[in-house]
Amino acid sequence: MSTIAFIGLGQMGAPMASNLLKQGHQLSVFDVNPLAVQALVDKGAKASATPSDAALDAEFVITMLPNGDLVRSVLFGDSGVCEGLSREALVIDMSTIHPLQTDTLIAGMRAKGFSMMDVPVGRTSDHAIAGTLLLLAGGTPQQVERATPVLMAMGNELIEAGGPGMGIRVKLINNYMSIALNALSAEATVLCEALGLSFDVALKVMSGTPAGKGHFTTSWPNKVLKGDLSPAFMIDLAHKDLGIALDVANLLHVPMPLGAASREVYNQARAAGRGREDWTAILEQVRASAGLNNQQC
Amino acid sequence: MSTIAFIGLGQMGAPMASNLLKQGHQLSVFDVNPLAVQALVDKGAKASATPSDAALDAEFVITMLPNGDLVRSVLFGDSGVCEGLSREALVIDMSTIHPLQTDTLIAGMRAKGFSMMDVPVGRTSDHAIAGTLLLLAGGTPQQVERATPVLMAMGNELIEAGGPGMGIRVKLINNYMSIALNALSAEATVLCEALGLSFDVALKVMSGTPAGKGHFTTSWPNKVLKGDLSPAFMIDLAHKDLGIALDVANLLHVPMPLGAASREVYNQARAAGRGREDWTAILEQVRASAGLNNQQC
Amino acid sequence: MSTIAFIGLGQMGAPMASNLLKQGHQLSVFDVNPLAVQALVDKGAKASATPSDAALDAEFVITMLPNGDLVRSVLFGDSGVCEGLSREALVIDMSTIHPLQTDTLIAGMRAKGFSMMDVPVGRTSDHAIAGTLLLLAGGTPQQVERATPVLMAMGNELIEAGGPGMGIRVKLINNYMSIALNALSAEATVLCEALGLSFDVALKVMSGTPAGKGHFTTSWPNKVLKGDLSPAFMIDLAHKDLGIALDVANLLHVPMPLGAASREVYNQARAAGRGREDWTAILEQVRASAGLNNQQC
Amino acid sequence: MSTIAFIGLGQMGAPMASNLLKQGHQLSVFDVNPLAVQALVDKGAKASATPSDAALDAEFVITMLPNGDLVRSVLFGDSGVCEGLSREALVIDMSTIHPLQTDTLIAGMRAKGFSMMDVPVGRTSDHAIAGTLLLLAGGTPQQVERATPVLMAMGNELIEAGGPGMGIRVKLINNYMSIALNALSAEATVLCEALGLSFDVALKVMSGTPAGKGHFTTSWPNKVLKGDLSPAFMIDLAHKDLGIALDVANLLHVPMPLGAASREVYNQARAAGRGREDWTAILEQVRASAGLNNQQC
């Protein structure tokens, strides 16, 4: 069992700390909210007056805070973690913050001789309570190996995301994709309603196609991800179908800003000479727009 | 076995007609391309000089044409299907055309006393050859029942989409969703590359979340589709995460027009007072933007 | 004075025809609405039973119709203009229709040996009544010279837009720019309100900058239009300022979809290596996106 | 003549400080770059070791820095302005920073008993050298009156933007409008080129319409700004024309993301029942999207 400093006892942090206690770890906790601290003390934790105090003698320091400025302040501020931390300890930031700030924080800790990794979590506060969070571990293999017994007290699935900073990166990508997809799904569903089509029928059809299953595991693996851009379904035709959908949506008064933006991406792909390539070549088109070199295509 | 007129022998139509012949149906075929006609004649079809001729004595007339103006012309033009068609026949348009034009064509046929349905197909030309197309049937139960034995010679899965015009509608929704999703997936993947994150890691994480599995069967059923907008994940937080992703993308020079458009949808949802509702409430937000009243769909 | 067939007596066409009568021209008129025809007959016009009848003996045929399909039908349909038209007559389409359809119609008329030009109008129905329309003339110099006396009965300013088809093109560009600019202006004004800033103050400042005066005659002539992309104001800084504006707008709940889209255009310009070029280089960026080679326009 | 602390001697700050010296003011200057300091010392300024030192005995403190974090640090940091400042002095921030950060800084200064205003500048570094900057003054009437003699040494036009914080707000609005308009102008111009239309002709037409003159002083004053939404040009028609422009642009491979976004704004206006209102009612539509109540602004 380990000696752990836990800083940040909010909606997620509190049950995570509780689960560490249940597994027999020794916890020193810190939060600006004394009620949150007391609740953990009642479960066996030790209250600390400052992050620095919490970090004294800790083998692990876990931070679970609302934003990156707070993590910075907790680590580097007055009476911050750095003032009490041993060079042998491992700092684990589990907050969801800006990835480039994570890089800065890890570099700052390294410059002072400290070891730090990022392990943001997936799923919800219910999973935090149940100890079944998804752990997205950004760290060296040694850091991950060392942290795993502690982390698995809070979650039931750990994905190694690569080196330090990669945990927060994969969380960002996942959230970007799911949040934007949510808005796109709403557009399709409202167009469905405006067309007088049963949503159940649409769902049945989409459940068998990339519309419902996504592209990553259906249309992409044997085409663009293999460098094969020969057309199974041409960009020209995809562009045409988008145009029909937008035309119908505009006739029926269904605003579709994501659809409108995507049509211009296909428009640009055609302008770049990709009209007769497979629709999955849109990945290469977006890569080119980002100034990445044209390897695949 | 049935007597069928088949009009439109292109990349999709030709193998579909062949499969009908293989099942023992009698075919009269028409196409502007004499080579396409001859290929079917070699397999046992009868060539017709005009759509009207093909329709004579036919129990079914199938059209598989590149656009709606051609379907209109084949049905209603000089020497068109209407001139030769029996009132007992069933016309099946399998083309992918503008849904509101489908409605007009079906209404025009009905006004002349003819029965017509729409059955566009899913999947690819390889499936057309194999006879394993997905059949999206828009018709009355009677029309669908009558057409099924003929249709199943060309496909292996038939989905009843609702009444006449619903087949083309569900195809439109499916294609809209999959084509726009393709562009969104490209944005997430290029941002992943620009962040130096392994795509395999991102894929592993997304395969367990709505990012990879879609929302229709994960986040929506127990929330917005049930009328429960209490937050499992708040719109305010989704909006914040999108903002971070766009900030990072703009720092790294990754253009994300769909992401940028989606952030403004969440922005508008917050302006409408939905910030503390569940992120799936974005469906209700888009419905309101479309002027639909706030009932559950 | 000339003999003129005038087809299409709607909100714009009726006063335009009246003004021709006032100038002493002889008019044969046609419209599907008998009341509209009678009103012109009361002012001295002759009613025609069909477009073909109207066109008989006419030196000029003017069409002013709601869309291109109607123009096509009036020209080429049964009892259409072509059936009565002299090879010496000049057809002037003043309707606002799709430019590529204008090209098709002019080519179709030319193939039959007829002369046709396009002269859509600017301004409002009040100007149509006053005879002070803006005339956007697409035609050969000979066509324009010949039509001018007739046209100037309806307007007070004529701009030669280039050859046939250019009148409708310049109308499209003008309308595109003014309509989209209207939405952009609304975003800036609502952000102004949300910031608690006086609109009069904003207006006073913008009236002295490209924000209010436009770029065509201010920032562009000495920079991108001359091929000088050295920075007076860098794309990097423009991109940064857009980011601040969008950040503020998202904090204040002001949706700005045009602003969000424009930020991604600058983002792409930076990805293309244009960050330190003058902001007017965004023109070259959009040209490149459209697949146009990098010459000055 | 006044005693002035000037902090920030970059591309803009250096010539502004020089102009203050030329007018006979006494300057204490500070910058992290010793060469920049020396250049001003050579012209008669006094070098200060810290912002605090510069502020000692100063009647005015002017900051001209690259971002808001630097302004905060210069004011409130160790050896910052606050440590040396007299309660009678006036702090003038002329930097271009985030407006909500300006508010925070001004409030922070006020809490310490200091007087601060914001006066960001318009125009270019050439104007800074010539002393002909545009001064956007955010301050109380008393602050503006007191600062004017000093400010007019650096510029030749001063616009009172309202109270503290309004200078930076009006700069933000102006820059937002001009930067996004730049991208929109590029779309229209590239579509012009793709259509084979002379840009000079387009310019000639647009110079007489809101496309070139803007809406603020043409279409808006007698319509939406007066509360008159009766249609001179209907939203329905504006939406239709945008649709034609986008259709042409997609046929000609001209990506127009701003145009596509604006079409969806008009689409939403129609969904909200505004189709038959004047096109200037798009302002009310955007206000409603932002959750502002439907008063005239």
Cα–Cα distance measured from residue D129 to residue D136, given in angstroms and rounded to the nearest whole number: 18
A150 and A238 in a single domain? The answer is no
Contacts of C271 in chain B (CB under 8 A): 253-255
Choose, out of B158, B193, B201, B250, the residue to mutate when testing the contact with A (most A CBs < 10 Å).
B201
For residue C39, how many other CB atoms are within 10 A of its CB? 17
Q: Measure in Å the smallest separation between the Cα of B257 and chain D Cα atoms.
A: 8
Do the chains contact at D268 and B257, CB–CB below 8 Å?
no
Query: What confidence score (pLDDT) does residue D293 get?
Result: 73
Q: Residue B55: name the closest of B77, B33, B24 by CA.
A: B77
A164 and A46 in a single domain? The answer is yes
**D184, part of any domain:** no
Residue D173 Cα distances to C162, C202, D66, D164, D213, angstroms: 38, 7, 19, 16, 18
Q: pLDDT tens across C206-221, in order?
A: 999 999 999 999 999 9
Q: Measure in Å the smallest separation between the Cα of A114 and chain B Cα atoms.
A: 23
Do the chains contact at A260 and D260, CB–CB below 8 Å?
yes
Residue D247 annotated as binding site: no
**C280, part of any domain:** yes
Residues of chain C contacting A, Cβ within 8 Å: 257, 261, 268, 271-273, 289-291
Cα–Cα distance measured from residue C32 to residue A92, given in angstroms and rounded to the nearest whole number: 78
Indicate if ipTM > 0.85: yes
Do the chains contact at C247 and B243, CB–CB below 8 Å?
yes
- The three-state (H, E, C) secondary structure of D147-175, written as one string: HHHHHCCCEEEEEEEECCCHHHHHHHHHH
Q: Would you say residue B295 has pLDDT above 50? A: no
Contacts of A263 in chain D (CB under 8 A): 250, 260
Q: Residue A81: name the closest of A98, A111, A110, A58 by CA.
A: A58
**What stretch of H or E contains C158?**
strand C155-162
Give me the domain span that covers residue A67: 3-169
> Of D136, D169, D202, which marks where a domain is finished?
D169
Q: What is the largest CA-CA distance in chain D?
A: 68
Contacts of B261 in chain D (CB under 8 A): 261
Do the chains contact at A289 and C271, CB–CB below 8 Å?
yes
pLDDT > 90: percent of chain B:
97
How many domains in chain A?
A: 2
List subunits contacting chain C, requiring 3 or more Cβ pairs under 8 Å: A, B, D
**Strand partners for D157:** D134
Choose, out of D247, D264, D289, the residue to mutate when testing the contact with B (most B CBs < 10 Å).
D289
- Residue type, position B78, single letter: D
Residues of B with active-site annotation? 171
Do the chains contact at B181 and A210, CB–CB below 8 Å?
yes
A153 and A231 in a single domain? The answer is no
Considering only CB atoms, A190 lies closest to which of B160, B211, B292, namely B292
Q: Which two tokens stand for residue D112?
A: 């310490």
Residue A19 Cα distances to A162, A257, C217, angstroms: 26, 44, 67
**C186, part of any domain:** no
CB neighbours of A143 closer than 8 A, spacing ≥ 6?
A: A90, A115, A117, A164
Average pLDDT in chain B: 96
Query: What confidence score (pLDDT) does residue D168 get?
Result: 98
**D37, part of any domain:** yes
Residue D123 annotated as binding site: yes
Give the HSE-up count for residue B160: Cα atoms under 13 Å, Cβ half-sphere.
12
Q: Measure in Å the smallest separation between the Cα of B294 and chain C Cα atoms.
A: 21
Q: Is D205 exposed, middle or buried (0-12, 13-18, 19+ CB in 10 A)?
A: buried
Q: Give the rounded distance of the alpha carbon of A131 from its chain centre.
A: 18
**What stretch of H or E contains D262?**
helix D257-271
Strands B133-138, B121-122: pairing kind: antiparallel
Burial A8-25 (b: 16+ CB within 10 A, else e): bbbebbbbbbbbbbeeeb
Could you please report the per-residue DSSP string of A29-52? EE-S-HHHHHHHHTTTPEE-SSHH
Going along B94-245, which residue ranges are E strands? 115-118, 121-122, 133-138, 155-162
Do the chains contact at D166 and C198, CB–CB below 8 Å?
yes
Residues of chain C contacting B, Cβ within 8 Å: 239, 243, 247, 249-250, 253-257, 260-261, 263-265, 267-268, 270-271
Using left for φ > 0, alpha for ψ between -120 and 50, and beta otherwise, residue B102 falls in alpha
D155 and D218 in a single domain? The answer is no
**C294, part of any domain:** yes
Choose, out of A235, A246, A266, A286, the residue to mutate when testing the contact with D (most D CBs < 10 Å).
A246
D152 and D217 in a single domain? The answer is no
**What does chain A come to in residues?**
297
Cα–Cα distance measured from residue B197 to residue A195, given in angstroms and rounded to the nearest whole number: 41
Do the chains contact at D100 and C248, CB–CB below 8 Å?
yes
Query: What confidence score (pLDDT) does residue C244 get?
Result: 96
**B174, part of any domain:** no
**Do C253 and D290 contact (CB within 8 A), yes or no?**
yes
Choose, out of D264, D268, D270, the residue to mutate when testing the contact with A (most A CBs < 10 Å).
D264
Q: Would you say residue D225 has pLDDT above 90? A: yes
Residue B12, helix vs strand vs coil? coil
**D109, part of any domain:** yes
- Residue type, position D100, single letter: L
Q: Residue C210: name the closest of D124, A274, A143 by CA.
A: D124
Residue D64 annotated as binding site: no
**Do A211 and B276 contact (CB within 8 A), yes or no?**
no
Is there a catalytic annotation at residue A46? Answer: no
Q: Would you say residue C260 has pLDDT above 80? A: yes
Do the chains contact at A273 and C289, CB–CB below 8 Å?
no
Do the chains contact at B290 and D272, CB–CB below 8 Å?
no
Residues of chain A contacting D, Cβ within 8 Å: 239, 243, 247, 249-250, 253-257, 260-261, 263-265, 267-268, 270-271
Considering only CB atoms, B260 lies closest to which of C253, C260, C270, namely C260
C43 and C151 in a single domain? The answer is yes
Q: Measure in Å the smallest separation between the Cα of A87 and chain C Cα atoms.
A: 39
For chain A, which ranges sit under pLDDT 70? Answer: 294-297
Q: pLDDT tens across D41-87, in order?
A: 999 999 999 999 999 999 999 999 999 999 999 999 999 999 999 99
C216 and C291 in a single domain? The answer is yes
**What stretch of H or E contains C92?**
strand C90-93
Q: Would you say residue C297 has pLDDT above 50? A: no
DSSP letter assigned to residue B234: B
Q: pLDDT tens across D117-130, in order?
A: 999 999 988 999 99
Residue B51 Cα distances to B48, B85, B102, B253, D34, angstroms: 7, 10, 19, 55, 88
B85 and B226 in a single domain? The answer is no
D226 and D160 in a single domain? The answer is no
Q: What is the CATH number of the domain that holds C124?
A: 3.40.50.720
Band (pLDDT 50/70/90 cuts) for residue C294 is low
> Of B169, B204, B233, which marks where a domain is finished?
B169
Considering only CB atoms, A254 lies closest to which of B241, B260, B290, namely B290
A43 and A145 in a single domain? The answer is yes
Q: What is the CATH number of the domain that holds D293?
A: 1.10.1040.10
Strands C90-93, C115-118: pairing kind: parallel
Q: pLDDT tens across D160-194, in order?
A: 999 999 999 999 999 999 999 999 999 999 999 99
Q: Would you say residue D136 has pLDDT above 50? A: yes
Catalytic residue among C43, C171, C204, C213: C171
Query: What confidence score (pLDDT) does residue B294 get?
Result: 52
Q: Would you say residue D267 has pLDDT above 70? A: yes
A140 and A229 in a single domain? The answer is no
**Strand partners for D148:** none
Query: What confidence score (pLDDT) does residue A294 get?
Result: 53
**What stretch of H or E contains A61?**
strand A60-63
Average pLDDT in chain D: 96
Q: Which two tokens stand for residue D44?
A: 């008669």
Catalytic residue among A43, A171, A204, A213: A171
For C265, name the nearest residue in chain D, comparing CA atoms only: D183
Choose between A63 and B297: higher pLDDT.
Answer: A63
Cα–Cα distance measured from residue D133 to residue D120, given in angstroms and rounded to the nearest whole number: 10
**B197, part of any domain:** no
Query: What confidence score (pLDDT) does residue D125 get?
Result: 87
Lowest mean pLDDT among C123-127, D30-34, D43-47: C123-127
**Strand partners for B135:** B121, B158
D23 and D157 in a single domain? The answer is yes
Contacts of B291 in chain A (CB under 8 A): 253
Sign of CA dihedral C114, C120, C125, C129: negative
Q: Rounded to two decimals, what is the model's pTM?
A: 0.95
Q: Measure in Å the smallest separation between the Cα of C184 and chain B Cα atoms.
A: 14
Query: What confidence score (pLDDT) does residue C174 get?
Result: 98
